[in-house]
């Protein structure tokens, strides 16, 4: 990034922050690796049904020794809390990967699903599926398909011009998002009895 566009005191401050991060890189990476594990372990105890540390210990002891455990505690811990923690981690990881893929694909660090019209496209697809079909099973494929269509339209609009500037993609995303938002409003108007 050229330094002549940024005031000197801002550039100096960002260099100081970057130097401090590089100096403590191992600490930050360790914190980023340990913090999700600690929060995941703490979330076992959060929920409507109270679970204590002793209940977790009893579950581990029962699994180790083959003894029976209270079926309610077992069901809450194994069938409700653990899948919730695992799926939360998987969804968070997949959102991070998709965000990084968007940023890499469009070569724009500020890109987001809302900026590219994906949210409006997916919303339109879901609304269209709710109007056209009686079953909810069509909502997710339609939302995914129209979200993907919004990305492709935005990418196509960005490639129409000879310039490779990120502003073209952003403006294309605004156009696509506005079109799909207008189509959602049209569907609401047509579906209202």
Give the tens place of pLDDT for each residue, 34-63.
999 999 989 988 888 888 888 888 888 888
Count of domains observed in the chain:
3
* Residue written as token pair 């990034």: 1
Rounded Cα–Cα distance for residues 53 and 147 (Å): 43
Q: Could you tell me the pLDDT band of residue 162, with boundaries at 50, 70 and 90?
A: low
Q: Are residues 113 and 172 in the same domain?
A: yes
Structure-token pair, residue 25: 């890189």
Least confident of 66-75, 138-147, 174-183: 66-75
Q: Are residues 112 and 180 in the same domain?
A: yes
pLDDT at 5: 56
Q: Residue 73: CB partners within 8 Å, gap ≥ 6? A: 51, 55, 58, 59
Rounded Cα–Cα distance for residues 163 and 5 (Å): 21
Q: Are residues 193 and 117 in the same domain?
A: yes
Q: Are residues 116 and 188 in the same domain?
A: yes
Q: Quick check: 86 pLDDT over 70?
A: yes
Q: Are residues 131 and 56 in the same domain?
A: no
Q: Residue 147: CB partners within 8 Å, gap ≥ 6? A: 113, 118, 119, 121, 122, 125
CB–CB of 56/74 below 8 Å? Answer: no
Q: Quick check: 146 pLDDT over 60?
A: yes
Give the domain extent around 72. Answer: 45-101
Q: Could you tell me the pLDDT band of residue 142, with boundaries at 50, 70 and 90?
A: very high
Q: Are residues 156 and 189 in the same domain?
A: yes
Question: What is the pTM (predicted TM-score) of this model?
Answer: 0.63
Tell me the average pLDDT across 54-74: 84
Instruction: Provide Rg for the chain, Cα atoms.
Output: 24
pLDDT at 73: 84
Other Cβ atoms within 10 Å of 94 Cβ, number:
10
Q: Quick check: 88 pLDDT over 90?
A: yes
């Amino acid at each position: 990034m050229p330094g002549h566009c940024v005031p000197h005191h801002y550039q100096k401050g960002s260099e100081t922050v970057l130097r401090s991060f590089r100096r403590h890189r191992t600490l930050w990476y360790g914190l980023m690796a340990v913090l999700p594990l600690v929060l995941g372990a703490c979330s076992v105890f959060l929920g409507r049904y109270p679970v204590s540390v002793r209940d977790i210990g009893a579950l581990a002891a029962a699994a180790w020794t083959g003894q029976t455990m209270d079926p309610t505690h077992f069901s809450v811990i194994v069938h409700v809390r653990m899948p919730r923690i695992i799926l939360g981690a998987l969804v968070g990881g997949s959102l991070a990967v998709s965000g990084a893929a968007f940023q890499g694909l469009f070569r724009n660090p500020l890109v987001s699903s809302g900026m590219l019209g994906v949210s409006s496209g997916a919303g339109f697809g879901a609304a269209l599926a709710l109007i056209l079909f009686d079953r909810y099973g069509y909502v997710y494929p339609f939302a995914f398909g129209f979200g993907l269509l919004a990305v492709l339209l935005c990418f196509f609009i960005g490639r129409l011009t000879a310039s490779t500037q990120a502003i073209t993609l952003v403006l294309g995303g605004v156009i696509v998002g506005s079109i799909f938002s207008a189509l959602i409003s049209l569907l609401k108007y047509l579906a209202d009895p």
